[in-house]
Amino acid sequence: MYTMSREQWWDFASEGTRTGKLATVRANGAPHVAPIWFLLNEQDGYDEIIFNTGAETVKGKALRRDPRFSLCVDDDTPPFSYVVFQAEAVLSEDLDESLLWATRLAARYMGEERAEAYGKRNAVPGEYLVRGRITKVLAQGDIAD
């Protein structure tokens, strides 16, 4: 087992179509976890997690109420590795910015040939672009070695 460097966890989390498991807290204090498509981005000297969610989803409401969230990305095959991010969200309803990122997200998860269609589907009124500034990272590789 080893602790991943920034370069290692960045590459690990960005590999292929790994989804993230987003953890937020409901208004009644209950935990909520949901799988999401995400991208990592470096912005003005800090790292961020970018994804879309509906404003009226459990995720959207939770992030509007409390911008803190965690995101887990893992490899469920031996020898097993994972990254857990803590971050603080900034929510945007800017449709131009949303279209740019929704298209990039779609390219990662659906392929370049379908990216434009999925980007347009997800960059609409009622959808948030979430930019989560990463505040803490726990990243372990080859846990079973």
63: CATH: 2.30.110.10
pTM for the complete prediction? 0.94
pLDDT of residue 145: 86
Tell me what percent of the residues of the chain surpass a pLDDT of 90.
Answer: 98
| Host domain of residue 53 | 2-141
pLDDT of residue 78: 95
Mean pLDDT of 45-71: 97
Structure confidence at residue 19 as a pLDDT band (50, 70, 90): very high
Mean pLDDT of 69-98: 97
Mean pLDDT of 89-93: 97
- 28 DSSP β-pair partners: none
Helix (H) or strand (E) holding 14: helix 6-14
Separation CA 57–CA 83 (nearest Å): 25
Separation CA 56–CA 62 (nearest Å): 9
Helix (H, G, I), strand (E, B) or coil at 89: strand
Mean pLDDT of 6-35: 97
- Region of 124 (left: φ > 0; alpha: ψ -120 to 50; beta: rest) is beta
Looking at the 3D structure of the chain, how many domains does it have? Answer: 1
